[in-house]
């Protein structure tokens, strides 16, 4: 009996903690449905008294569809670049005896810790010389540097855990290392690859600085840049800004809910190792 | 023998593309940054392609710039403040969720959302909640009676930095909690059982078993927290833009401002290099720490 | 009829220009696209605007109207925040991402011209021959070294907006006339949820703009910021803030933000401009409010504001100019100015229309316009303004005393002007 009571208590306490912690999200969504005068009401209302959807209509006029599409395009292409480069690299580092392996691993570890602002100025100048300012290429190339080290390190740990015998058996059947990798190892690693893909997607989805620095043209801007710009346009029309924020956060929430368990596990193993 | 050589070569084929990519987009810019910082590159020089060599004068200007020292101080205060509190709260939450109850792992997982959401949005949310008039923080504190006048969260130079620290703690808690939870779940249970038999209290067990055993994880979490917080940009950029009156300027926003507000790319590069050197040293310490259990 | 002829002439001129310009201007890799660049495709004109609220809505409606009225030019708009336009123009010049037309604060026109960002359109303006109808002050702001680098599009000035009901409740039937009265009325709100008074103190041109009437009223100007009068102006506003008659939020507040607080009746009095009238009417039609002169110290003072339109150096100049001419036509300009609550910078419109004198709110601004002062024009204005902005921020945040802040600003300004 006592044990069950304790279980109940813990569950309720847990829900309370999570609600308090995630209150900013709740407040964001609620505010997006309030009228301007209700937002400034004292005392504030917990739920909208007068639900309105005009904030969403208003921001729809504001290029947000284009922003959304850009975020999706930039994030997807970046994820593709990250996976194409990091999956083989992680496998190579896990399976082959390579001279300078420690150095390579060190390279990925160190680059993972670099702030974007350190490489921002030289990349801006470099991209200017290459003529790729104001294109999707700038943010994609730059954002991939966030995802690659992370993915290489996580996937390498995972590949180390796959028994070598599987590939040896495939080689006996006449597979070369590449086809053994593609046919045997890749399918096994798919869950981890998806986690790395999702994380790279999140990293890129959240990028603001690369996009606003490399691209002046608003037609190329992702949601984060759009919302930053909108802060001035809407002044303190917080319902519109919160509607914009809600739409920007939505895909992250959806992907997270779909992949929750795997993501949490993947993040934990990647960060510690 | 021949086969072994071939497989060695194959290994490089797998590894090298990603390495080249990172060297081109991180390594080269880092070196270029050093060159830039000794030159005088502004917008015109950028378009014409020639900048004169200045030697160390950018660095000398920098150390004579009072805003630079404010940024250094702010970056350190910001980082230490954030790391300490997000660690303590993250640890408490990890301990709480390590108790076995039905919703524990689900609830713990859900909290990760605050870490994954774009920082621009988190910053905007806090900017909204910290408004002096309509902000919910002041509304709540006023109604409970903790304060009598609205707090100037982001408008007072004395308070703004700590307000951003608060937002950063919120963003960082889940990450700390997750790593510490993983560490906790790997601790051997039998030690606790035998300690209980010896009559050890919960607090004794925590300080004499949990903390010593978790030491490696704790150090790694604090180091990573330090590294990730030290490079803060988005939160400051969106919440205050470095103001009011430079009171929240940090090294990364200062570097950005030199380069992209004043178009003094060389000063921006010099500031970024100082940021890099500090981070690099800390990264080396971190690497030494994890090397022990790294399977190389 | 006559107009139509000029139109046709104008267009055929553009076509002949672009027909030959297209060939040698394009890179060699465009050979296959050659067909696409001839007459069939409409020319694109990109404009950056910082308008917000009604001003933006009406402007975008006019853009649509222009686009629908002909098939040769397509105008596109991008919103760029007011405080970022100058920086974005510089960044854009590096990546080849500049607009064709840019909407700028008139005080920045000379500075941007001196930096080579804007195109010299003197020939076009002279050929057009309508400058005699423009007001002198706004037109002068477009000039740098005797050449035109833009045209004035809107003019405005600042007044005191006050909520009649709130003032009445606090026991005042009349708005404040002097600084002392302003303080008295604002003080009456100290213990309520409503803020008594607000100005825009955001660190951008907006705060210099809003401070200028107080500076002038005390008898000072930007070239003597260390004078006792100038210090007195800042000290007065700082005192309102210190005593809680003005929210400390003003240092992050822009004029749009003030308007929102005023509209939701959380602010009893504010300094603001005529372009926000429509927004207030739309968002809170039931509120009783009025506009009057900004309370005075020595004498009443205010400041001229305005937006200019300039063509960017290296832009698609001819179609851009066509669009600008269309906007500046009395017919278009009158409806834009009237619908968005600003003053047209053309005397001929003001002479012929009685809209401004009869409008319930705009009419209050007519006498203010008479004595309002212009800032500059000076190519150094942005630097002068930055010094003033910093002084306001420093004093409002208690980083410095008003006197020290103003002395430092004065020193900065003297450096800037000497250079």
Task: Sketch out chain C's domains with CATH numbers.
Answer: 41-155+305-371 (3.40.190.10), 159-303+378-418 (3.40.190.10)
- pLDDT bin (cut points 50, 70, 90) of residue A260 is confident
Sign of CA dihedral C235, C240, C244, C248: negative
A and C: number of Cβ contacts within 8 A: 60
CB A122 within 8 A of CB B29: yes
Residues of A in contact with B181 (CB under 8 A): 268
Give the mean pLDDT of B88-101. 92
Tell me the pLDDT tens digit for each residue of B168-209. Answer: 999 999 989 988 988 888 888 888 888 888 888 888 888 888
Residues of C in contact with A237 (CB under 8 A): 260
CB contact under 8 A, B113 and A256: yes
Does A196 touch chain B if contact means CB atoms closer than 8 Å?
Answer: no
Residues of C in contact with A236 (CB under 8 A): 256-257, 260-261
Q: Which of A62, A216, A233 sits opposite C97 (nearest CB)?
A: A216
d(CA C272, CA B15): 62
A178 to chain C, closest Cα gap in Å = 40
DSSP secondary structure code for residue A182 in this structure: I
CB contact under 8 A, A43 and B109: no
Sign of CA dihedral A241, A246, A251, A253: positive
Task: Looking at mean pLDDT, say which of A62-66, B221-225, C103-107, C201-205 comes out highest.
Answer: C103-107
The token pair at A240 is 């519109």
A125 vs B132 pLDDT, higher one: A125
Q: Which of B133, B245, B263 sits opposite C393 (nearest CB)?
A: B245
Give the mean pLDDT of C189-208. 90
Q: Assess: ipTM above 0.85.
A: yes
The token pair at A85 is 């480069």
Does A190 touch chain B if contact means CB atoms closer than 8 Å?
Answer: no
CB contact under 8 A, B15 and A224: no
B3 in any annotated domain: no
**Nearest in space to C365 (alpha carbons), one of C210, C181, C160:** C160
Give the mean pLDDT of A53-81. 92
Tell me the pLDDT tens digit for each residue of C122-162. Answer: 999 999 999 999 998 899 999 999 999 999 999 999 999 99
Give the mean pLDDT of A180-187. 83
CB contact under 8 A, C254 and A133: no
Query: Chain B, 31-50: which have a CB under 8 Å from a chain C CB?
Result: 43, 46-47
Give me Rg for the CA atoms of chain B: 24
Give the mean pLDDT of B36-59. 82
DSSP H helices in C243-275: 255-263
Give the mean pLDDT of A154-180. 81
CB contact under 8 A, B230 and A126: no
B42 in any annotated domain: yes
Does B4 touch chain A if contact means CB atoms closer than 8 Å?
Answer: no
Give the mean pLDDT of B87-114. 90
For chain B, give the mean pLDDT: 87
CB contact under 8 A, B46 and A24: no
CATH (domain of B270): 1.10.3720.10
The dihedral over CA atoms of C241, C243, C248, C251, expressed in degrees to the nearest 10, equals: 10
Number of domains in chain B: 1
B257 in any annotated domain: yes
Give the mean pLDDT of A111-133. 88
Chains that touch A (3 or more CB pairs under 8 A): B, C
What's the pTM value of the predicted model, to 2 decimals? 0.85
Tell me the pLDDT tens digit for each residue of A226-239. Answer: 999 888 777 668 89
B142 in any annotated domain: yes
- pLDDT bin (cut points 50, 70, 90) of residue A90 is very high
B280 to chain C, closest Cα gap in Å = 30
Please name the residue of chain B whose CA is at the shortest distance from the CA of residue C90: B43
Residues of C in contact with A215 (CB under 8 A): 95, 97
CB A212 within 8 A of CB C92: no
Residues of A with CB under 8 A from a CB of C: 36-37, 40, 42, 62, 124, 128, 133-134, 213-218, 229, 231-237
Q: What end-to-end distance do the CA atoms of chain C give, in Å?
A: 52
C341: left (phi over 0), alpha (psi -120 to 50) or beta: left
Residues of A in contact with B260 (CB under 8 A): 124, 213
Give the mean pLDDT of B155-174. 94
**Residue C70 above 80 pLDDT?**
yes
Query: Residue B150 belongs to what domain range?
Result: 14-291
Model pLDDT, residue B4: 52
Does B217 touch chain A if contact means CB atoms closer than 8 Å?
Answer: yes
- Measured CA to CA in angstroms, residue B222 lies from B76, B86, B219, B231, C162 at distances of 14, 9, 5, 15, 54
Tell me the pLDDT tens digit for each residue of B112-138. Answer: 888 889 999 999 999 999 987 778 999
B187 in any annotated domain: yes
**Nearest in space to A199 (alpha carbons), one of A124, A105, A112, A94:** A112
Give the mean pLDDT of A98-118. 85
A27: left (phi over 0), alpha (psi -120 to 50) or beta: alpha
DSSP secondary structure code for residue A45 in this structure: P
Task: Sketch out chain A's domains with CATH numbers.
Answer: 62-272 (1.10.3720.10)
Give the mean pLDDT of C387-392. 94
B132 to chain C, closest Cα gap in Å = 6
B4 in any annotated domain: no
DSSP secondary structure code for residue C108 in this structure: G
Residues of B in contact with A7 (CB under 8 A): 101-102
Give the mean pLDDT of C281-307. 93
Residues of C in contact with A38 (CB under 8 A): none
Percent of chain C clearing pLDDT 70 (strictly above): 90
A and B: number of Cβ contacts within 8 A: 291
B282 in any annotated domain: yes
CB contact under 8 A, C203 and B243: yes
Q: Which of B22, B129, B286 sits opposite A148 (nearest CB)?
A: B22
CB contact under 8 A, B93 and A18: no
Please name the residue of chain B whose CA is at the shortest distance from the CA of residue C264: B134
Residues of A in contact with C83 (CB under 8 A): 232
Model pLDDT, residue B52: 80
- pLDDT bin (cut points 50, 70, 90) of residue C23 is very low
B168 in any annotated domain: yes
DSSP letter string, B158-220: TTHHHHHHHHHHHHHHHHHHHHHHHHHHTS-HHHHHHHHHTT--HHHHIIIIIHHHHHHHHHH
d(CA C386, CA C63): 33
**Residue C6 above 70 pLDDT?**
no
DSSP secondary structure code for residue B145 in this structure: T
Model pLDDT, residue C69: 94
Does A227 touch chain B if contact means CB atoms closer than 8 Å?
Answer: yes
Please name the residue of chain A whose CA is at the shortest distance from the CA of residue C95: A133
CB C200 within 8 A of CB C207: yes
Best of C260, C266, C267, C284 to mutate (most A CBs within 10 Å, chain A): C260
CB contact under 8 A, C81 and A233: yes
Please name the residue of chain B whose CA is at the shortest distance from the CA of residue A251: B117
**Beta bridge pairs of residue C198:** C270
Sign of CA dihedral C387, C389, C392, C394: negative
Residues of B in contact with A160 (CB under 8 A): 295
Residues of A in contact with B217 (CB under 8 A): 272
Contacts of C146 (CB under 8 A, 6+ apart): none
CB B287 within 8 A of CB A106: yes
**Residue C350 above 70 pLDDT?**
yes
**Residue C239 above 90 pLDDT?**
yes
Q: Which of C90, C249, C397 sits opposite B43 (nearest CB)?
A: C90
Model pLDDT, residue B296: 36
Longest C-alpha distance within chain B, in Å?
Answer: 81
Tell me the pLDDT tens digit for each residue of C75-122. Answer: 999 888 888 888 888 877 776 778 999 999 999 999 899 888 899 999
C93 to chain A, closest Cα gap in Å = 10
C136 to chain A, closest Cα gap in Å = 31
- Measured CA to CA in angstroms, residue B46 lies from A124, A139, B52, B57, B222 at distances of 10, 20, 11, 19, 40
Tell me the pLDDT tens digit for each residue of B253-280. Answer: 999 999 988 888 899 999 999 999 988 8
CB contact under 8 A, B179 and A117: no
Does A39 touch chain B if contact means CB atoms closer than 8 Å?
Answer: yes
Model pLDDT, residue C28: 36
Does B139 touch chain C if contact means CB atoms closer than 8 Å?
Answer: no
Q: Which of C203, C266, C394 sits opposite B133 (nearest CB)?
A: C266
For chain A, give the mean pLDDT: 88
d(CA B131, CA B137): 8
B25 to chain C, closest Cα gap in Å = 19
The dihedral over CA atoms of C251, C84, A232, C317, expressed in degrees to the nearest 10, equals: 140
B231 to chain C, closest Cα gap in Å = 24
CB contact under 8 A, C399 and B132: no
Best of C248, C268, C398 to mutate (most B CBs within 10 Å, chain B): C248
């Amino acid at each position: 009996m006592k044990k069950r009571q304790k279980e109940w208590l813990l569950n309720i306490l847990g829900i309370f903690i999570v609600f308090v912690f995630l209150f900013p999200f709740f407040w964001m969504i609620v505010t997006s449905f309030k009228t301007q005068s209700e937002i400034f009401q004292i005392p504030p209302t917990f739920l909208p008294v007068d639900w309105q959807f005009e904030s969403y209509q208003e921001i729809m006029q504001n290029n947000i569809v284009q922003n959304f599409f850009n975020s999706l395009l930039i994030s997807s292409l970046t994820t593709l670049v990250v996976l194409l480069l990091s999956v083989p690299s992680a496998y190579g580092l896990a399976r082959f005896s390579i001279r300078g392996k420690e150095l390579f691993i060190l390279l990925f570890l160190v680059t993972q810790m670099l702030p974007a602002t350190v490489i921002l100025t030289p990349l801006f100048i470099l991209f200017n010389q290459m003529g790729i300012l104001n294109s999707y290429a700038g943010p994609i190339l730059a954002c991939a540097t966030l995802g690659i080290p992370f993915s290489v390190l996580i996937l390498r740990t995972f590949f180390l855990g796959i028994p070598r015998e599987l590939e040896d058996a495939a080689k006996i059947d006449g597979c070369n290392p590449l086809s053994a990798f593609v046919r045997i190892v890749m399918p096994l690693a798919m869950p981890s690859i998806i986690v790395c893909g999702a994380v790279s997607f999140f990293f890129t989805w959240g990028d603001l600085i690369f996009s606003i620095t490399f691209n002046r043209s608003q037609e190329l801007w992702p949601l984060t840049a759009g919302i930053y710009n909108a802060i001035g346009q809407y002044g303190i029309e917080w319902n519109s800004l919160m509607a914009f924020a809600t739409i920007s956060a939505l895909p992250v929430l959806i992907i997270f809910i779909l992949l929750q368990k795997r993501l949490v596990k993947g993040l934990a193993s990647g960060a510690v190792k | 023998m021949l086969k072994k050589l071939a497989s060695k070569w194959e290994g490089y084929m797998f590894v090298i593309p990603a390495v080249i990519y990172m060297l081109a987009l991180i390594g080269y810019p880092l070196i270029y940054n050093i060159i830039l910082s000794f030159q005088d590159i502004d917008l015109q020089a950028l378009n014409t392609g020639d900048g004169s060599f200045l030697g160390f004068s950018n660095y000398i200007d920098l150390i004579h710039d009072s805003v630079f020292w404010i940024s250094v101080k702010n970056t350190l205060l910001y980082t230490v403040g954030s790391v300490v509190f997000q660690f303590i709260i993250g640890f408490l939450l990890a301990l709480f969720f390590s108790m076995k109850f039905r919703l524990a792992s689900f609830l713990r997982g859900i909290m990760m959302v605050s870490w994954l959401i774009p920082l621009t949005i988190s910053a905007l949310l806090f900017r909204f909640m910290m408004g002096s008039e309509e902000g919910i923080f002041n509304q709540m504190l006023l109604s409970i009676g903790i304060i009598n006048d609205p707090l100037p969260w982001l408008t007072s130079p004395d308070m703004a930095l700590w307000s951003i620290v608060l937002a950063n703690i919120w963003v960082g808690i889940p990450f700390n909690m997750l790593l510490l939870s993983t560490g906790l779940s790997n601790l051997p249970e039998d030690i606790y059982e035998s300690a209980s038999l010896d009559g050890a209290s919960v607090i004794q067990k925590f300080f004499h078993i949990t903390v010593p055993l978790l030491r490696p994880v704790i150090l790694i979490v604090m180091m990573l927290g330090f590294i990730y917080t030290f490079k803060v940009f988005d939160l400051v950029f969106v919440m205050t833009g470095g103001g009011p009156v430079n009171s929240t300027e940090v090294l990364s926003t200062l570097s950005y401002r030199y380069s992209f507000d004043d178009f003094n790319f060389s000063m921006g590069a010099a500031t970024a290099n100082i940021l890099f050197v500090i981070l690099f040293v800390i990264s080396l310490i971190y690497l030494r720490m994890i090397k022990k259990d790294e399977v190389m | 009829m006559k107009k139509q002829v000029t139109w046709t002439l104008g267009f055929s001129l553009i076509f002949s220009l672009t027909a030959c310009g297209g060939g040698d201007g394009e890179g060699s890799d465009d050979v296959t696209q050659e067909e696409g660049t001839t007459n069939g495709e409409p020319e694109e004109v990109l404009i950056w605007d910082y308008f917000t609220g009604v001003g933006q809505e009406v402007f975008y409606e006019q853009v649509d109207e222009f686009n629908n009225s002909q098939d040769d030019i397509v105008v596109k708009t991008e919103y760029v925040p007011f405080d970022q336009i100058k920086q974005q123009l510089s960044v854009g010049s590096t990546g080849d991402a500049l607009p064709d037309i840019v909407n700028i604060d008139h005080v920045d026109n000379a500075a941007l011209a001196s930096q080579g960002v804007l195109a010299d359109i003197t020939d076009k303006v002279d050929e057009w021959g309508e400058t005699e109808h423009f007001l002198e002050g706004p037109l002068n702001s477009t000039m740098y070294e005797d050449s035109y680098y833009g045209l004035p599009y809107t003019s405005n000035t600042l007044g005191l907006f006050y909520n009649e009901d709130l003032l009445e409740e606090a026991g005042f039937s009349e708005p404040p006339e002097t600084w002392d009265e302003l303080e008295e009325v604002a003080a009456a709100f100290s213990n309520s949820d409503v803020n008594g008074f607000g100005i825009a103190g955001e660190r951008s041109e907006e705060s210099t703009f809003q401070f200028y009437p107080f500076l002038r009223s005390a008898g000072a100007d930007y070239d003597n910021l260390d004078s006792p009068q100038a210090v007195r102006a800042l000290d007065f506003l700082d005192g309102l803030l210190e005593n809680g008659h003005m929210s400390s939020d003003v240092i992050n507040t822009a004029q749009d933000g003030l308007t929102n607080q005023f509209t939701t009746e959380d602010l009893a009095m504010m300094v603001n401009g005529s372009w926000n009238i429509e927004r207030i009417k739309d968002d809170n039609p039931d509120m009783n409010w009025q506009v009057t002169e900004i309370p005075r110290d020595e004498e009443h003072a205010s400041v001229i504001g305005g937006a200019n339109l300039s063509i960017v150096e290296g832009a698609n100049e001819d179609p851009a100019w066509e669009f600008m001419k269309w906007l500046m036509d009395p017919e278009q300009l009158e409806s834009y100015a009237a619908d968005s609550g600003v003053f047209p910078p053309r005397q001929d419109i003001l002479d012929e229309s009685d809209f401004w004198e009869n409008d319930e709110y705009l009419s209050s601004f007519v006498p203010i316009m008479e004595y309002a002062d212009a800032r500059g024009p000076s190519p150094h204005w942005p630097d002068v303004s930055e010094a003033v902005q910093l002084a306001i921020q420093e004093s409002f945040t208690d980083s410095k005393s008003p006197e020290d802040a103003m002395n430092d600003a004065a020193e900065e300004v003297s450096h800037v002007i000497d250079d």
